[in-house]
């Protein structure tokens, strides 16, 4: 019962993390930045706005499906309300499925901005999804665990330094962090996947992204330093990615894809060495 209460608190905590993230980025840009509660205001304002209705059912369903994916993930990480053998592979596929839903929605919108974002995302998925799934499997294999419930390794980065680095690199794409944010380059493709969404649908999409990003920070802590420190150290991982976001140039799509194909090959080779 207590764990269920903690899970319910993770959703507003994800919004607080987004508010902190925006403040950090603003300070690094020498700006004041929005108030910490701005994500709450944004979601409330969007829900109150009139929504542009698209007759395409796929376009209309994507926000609900994306939010369901995010909520499913927080039921597994970090408190394992839902737990079963090899649930880490399911988590990996849910992350990938959520991005796939974004692609479906962007294509269904028939927006050129959404189409460009979808093409870039599909190219990146060739590399990072393979890397992500292999890295998750390596952490659990190295810890002798089969699910998040029985994963008890602490400070795994001391035994699996290469795998930990690969996980951090995968986080760049999942979190849309420079230099691997070509699918969300606002200056080039506006809002990317979400360009044609408005009102409650856009609110659900943004909430799904806030939760997913928050869970990634927890997942990094969970796997690299252990479940005891996962929540406590998640702000440090957020700070690391924000520093990279504000200090790194953006790579081209081709360079980004080549990088992750190399990382995927490296992760596959590491199966035999487990470092």
Which region among 51-55, 59-63, 227-231, 250-254 has the lowest average model confidence (pLDDT)? 250-254
- The model's pLDDT over 63-99, given as tens digits with 9 standing for 90+, comes to 999 999 999 998 888 778 888 888 899 999 999 899 8
pLDDT at residue 43 in the model: 92
Burial 81-111 (b: 16+ CB within 10 A, else e): eeeeeebbebbbebbbbbbbbbbbbbbbbeb
Residue 254, pLDDT above cutoff 80:
no
Report yes or no: 22 and 38 within 8 Å, Cβ to Cβ.
yes
Report d(CA 103, CA 253) in Å as an integer: 16
pLDDT at residue 183 in the model: 57
Residue 111, pLDDT above cutoff 90:
no
Calculate mean pLDDT across residues 10-37.
88
- What is the 8-class DSSP label of residue 90? H
Of 66, 130, 141, the residue nearest 261 (C-alpha):
130
* Burial class of residue 56 (count of CB atoms within 10 Å of its CB; 0-12, 13-18, 19+): middle
CA-to-CA dists, residue 160 to 135, 163, 164, 200, angstroms: 10, 5, 6, 43
pLDDT at residue 66 in the model: 93
- The model's pLDDT over 194-212, given as tens digits with 9 standing for 90+, comes to 777 888 888 999 999 999 9
Q: What is the dihedral of CA 182, 179, 65, 213, to 10 degrees?
A: -160
The domain spans of the chain are 2-270
């Amino acid at each position: 019962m207590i764990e269920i209460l903690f899970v319910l608190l993770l959703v507003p905590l994800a919004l607080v993390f987004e508010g902190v993230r925006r403040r950090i980025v603003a300070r690094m840009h020498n700006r004041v930045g929005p108030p910490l509660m701005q994500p709450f205001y944004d979601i409330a304002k969007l829900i109150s706005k009139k929504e542009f209705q698209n007759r395409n059912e796929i376009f209309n369903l994507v926000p609900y499906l994306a939010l369901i994916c995010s909520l499913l993930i927080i039921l597994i990480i970090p408190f394992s309300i839902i737990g079963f053998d090899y649930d880490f592979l399911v988590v990996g596929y849910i992350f990938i499925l959520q991005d796939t839903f974004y692609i479906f929605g962007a294509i269904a919108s028939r927006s050129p901005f959404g189409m460009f974002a979808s093409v870039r995302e599909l190219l990146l998925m060739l590399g990072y999804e393979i890397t992500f799934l292999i890295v998750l499997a390596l952490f659990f294999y190295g810890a002798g665990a089969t699910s998040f419930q029985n994963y008890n390794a602490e400070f795994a980065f001391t035994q699996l330094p290469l795998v930990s680095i690969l996980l951090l690199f995968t986080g760049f794409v999942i979190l849309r962090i420079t230099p691997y944010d070509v699918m969300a380059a606002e200056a080039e493709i506006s809002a990317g996947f979400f360009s044609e969404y408005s009102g409650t649908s856009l609110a659900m999409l943004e909430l799904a992204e806030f939760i997913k990003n928050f869970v990634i920070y927890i997942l990094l802590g969970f796997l690299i330093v252990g479940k005891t420190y996962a929540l406590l150290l998640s702000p440090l991982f957020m700070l690391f990615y924000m520093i990279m976001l504000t200090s790194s140039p953006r790579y081209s799509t081709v360079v980004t894809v080549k990088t992750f194909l190399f990382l995927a090959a490296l992760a596959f080779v590491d199966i035999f060495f487990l470092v």
